[in-house]
Amino acid sequence: MYIYIPLEVLQLLLFPKELLSIPNYKYFVTLIWCLLITEGRKTTRNIHRYCFFYKKNLASWERFLSKNQWDLMAVMEQLFLKLLKLFEDQFLVHGKLLVAFDTTLVAKDSQKIPGIQKWNNHSGNASQGKYITGHHWGILGLVGSFFTNRFICFPLIFRLISGRSNPYQYLGDTDGIVRSTNFWDNAHATLFQFADWKPKYSIRVVVDAYFSNKSFIQPLLDRKNPIHVVTKLKTNAVGFLDPEKPEKKKCGRPRKKGQKIKIINLFKAESIESIPVRLYGETRNIDVVVKDLWILDLNCKVRVVITKIGSKATAIISTDITLTPSEIIEIYGARFSIEVAIKDMKQHLGLGDYQHHSLLPTLRFVHLVAVAYSVGKITLLKYSSSSWLDIQDYQGDTPWTSELSFNRLRICLKRYSLEKLVFSKTALDQEIEKNTSVKDAILTIAS
């Protein structure tokens, strides 16, 4: 059955083989292949229809996601270790591993699926309305620097965020008091789960301005091995200078904070310096103001970098004060890579196409989408010069604008499978002939 999958892709899919039984591993490989090659909706029924070389009943595919025994998080941990083994230098961003955390909404209208509720739509897409009914996912991805400072994010952990209207996750303390989880509980659980994989390097996380508050940042800094945060401040943020030491000792407790200042106003009050920054694949000079301040009621000072491009001033903070201003700006610029990854998974790999009425198959499906994304990106990064990825006789413009395009990978995978069906005639092909004709297989791929 594996003759219709390129050898490079098969080698990448070996990482969870020791964790899966032989039947489960076959389902795993064929499902990833189908996610990469299938056009349209990636429902279980369509995946079952596309997989011409491993014909099983539709119910068998559903059982693989909902009932078969295999450890999802162990598979994702092995994917992380595989990524680190292949691109260790690229994932060390200024001496530490960099992860990005973001959220996304997936519209679902079935009340039979747990976790469905109405959420505010912050996408800015007016056609979707003010609210979206569906799931709210928290997503953590590992960020690496490729092609002269081009950042690529590899999603690793998905966690369904429990809302207030329809809660389904709860926390219990040592006193037996139980409460429903909130947004920050889910974010921390995702980051702590990644930290439990015990990478040998320290971790930084980059997030957007919504996470610039004490509820998110302080628990990460209180750990034995702190997880440092790089984020953007809101426009109305304020900070405090160090307290001035009085000439004479006064009665009472000494002040912990000094003068209160509005962060954005520092660009007018402090000296401005121009620094070179590698941003979005190119180097440019940016005017900045740098100040270490007490902010967000945290128990430590943070480094604040105020930048101004055009007439708009932006404040970025880092709890790791060993970073230079240019490194802080560069790391925050890397946050955009997780938004690109989420968009690609929705557009090309069917992140929102699950239709399961229980959480286990839903969680397994979205994580397998992340595996397909990583396998696809690694293939395009590492094996771009392979003969099967090189289309020399394509008439006209190629239907992709980037060498890392999933459109390119899909077309090349289809072409590879069709060539094996039409021109290859080996003993390995007999398995296909027992289940389906060559004509049916070709029509399935081409449709």
pLDDT at 253: 72
Residue 41 one-letter amino acid = R
pLDDT at 232: 95
* d(C-alpha 381, C-alpha 338), whole Å: 17
8 A C-beta contact, residue 403 and residue 380: yes
* d(C-alpha 348, C-alpha 402), whole Å: 14
* d(C-alpha 232, C-alpha 211), whole Å: 8
Give the Å distances, CA to CA, from 197 to 77, 102, 155, 201, 370.
7, 20, 15, 11, 18
DSSP 363: H
What is the pTM (predicted TM-score) of this model?
Answer: 0.89
8 A C-beta contact, residue 217 and residue 232: no
pLDDT at 175: 83
Q: Which of 2, 33, 19 is nearest to 444 (CA)?
A: 33
Which stretches within 160-276 are classed as H helix?
Answer: 183-195, 214-221, 266-269
Q: Dig out the tokens for 432 from the structure.
A: 């296909």
CB-based contacts of 284, cutoff 8 Å, min separation 6:
276, 277
DSSP 246: P
Q: Dig out the tokens for 118 from the structure.
A: 């109405």
Q: Residue 39: which region, alpha, beta or left (left: phi > 0; alpha: psi -120 to 50)?
A: beta
* d(C-alpha 205, C-alpha 228), whole Å: 6
CB-based contacts of 394, cutoff 8 Å, min separation 6:
none
pLDDT at 40: 85
The series of mean pLDDT values per 10 residues for the chain, 447 residues long, is 85 94 93 90 85 82 92 96 94 94 88 80 69 91 88 95 75 82 90 90 94 95 94 91 76 76 86 85 86 91 89 91 94 94 94 89 95 96 86 52 82 84 58 52 57
Q: Name the CA dihedral angle for 197, 199, 202, 203, rounded to a multiple of 10 degrees.
A: -50
